[in-house]
Chain A
Amino acid sequence: GDSVTQMEGPVTLSEEAFLTINCTYTATGYPSLFWYVQYPGEGLQLLLKATKADDKGSNKGFEATYRKETTSFHLEKGSVQVSDSAVYFCALLNTGGFKTIFGAGTRLFVKA
């Protein structure tokens, strides 16, 4: 079945460091891919999405490119801030799908 695999956390970075959180997926067909962010004590917020191969989703300085050849959707940010500390979830929704499949989440800590 469909699945999403994320790098294990926690990831700890200093402010202004470069961030990469790896995400790979297994799916039949052509899924849409998403990154969600969860701040402490809150629900999930959609961060960015890509609906087809080679699409790049971007928001708030974060980017992720839909790579069908490597079945990946890695999240990147050039310069993280303390306020980026949160849990990040990679997710997919397959064509004609009904349920979004979530990765396990990666916790990010950014130190001042």
Chain B
Amino acid sequence: GAVVSQHPSWVICKSGTSVKIECRSLDFQATTMFWYRQFPKQSLMLMATSNEGSKATYEQGVEKDKFLINHASLTLSTLTVTSAHPEDSSFYICSARGSGAGYSNQPQHFGDGTRLSIL
């Protein structure tokens, strides 16, 4: 089945540093990738949607200058948390959907998530 690889799975860093998270679709081309944030014992909160070759669309309340998203190719999207602070600590999950025939009914495929801890 479709596989989405997310890296790193866990990162701890000091306050003020920037952290980049990669999301790759391994066996399909992902026209659209989604970035979610999940707080403990809560559902997923969609942060932004990225389309290959264009600017990401951010959900209301998400700081685009804080969470930089780049979707440079059909198999790679990156999320960079800039100048991270302890309140940015969370579980970040990427997701990708394929392109082509039947696209509108295709489920999203998820990475395993990145646990980010800012000290």
Contact = CB atoms under 8 A, between A and B. Distances in A.
A44 B43 contact: no
A93 B105 contact: yes
Interface stretch (A18-26, A61-69, A76-84, A94-102): A94-102
Given A98-B49, A99-B46, A103-B43, A46 B104 contact: no
Chain A interface, DSSP helix/strand/loop, else mixed: loop
A45 B110 contact: yes
A34 B107 contact: yes
Nearest to A39: B112
Interface residues of B, number: 23
A100 B105 contact: no
B110 A99 contact: no
Which size class do A's interface residues fall under?
20 to 34
B78 interface: no
Interface of A: 32, 34, 36, 41-46, 49, 51, 89, 93, 95-100, 102-105, 107
Interface of B: 1, 4, 6, 32, 34, 41-44, 46, 49, 93, 95, 104-105, 107-113, 115
Given A46-B1, A103-B43, A105-B43, 18 more contacts: A36-B110, A41-B113, A41-B115, A42-B112, A43-B6, A44-B44, A45-B110, A46-B107, A46-B108, A51-B105, A89-B44, A95-B104, A97-B104, A98-B49, A99-B34, A100-B107, A104-B42, A104-B43
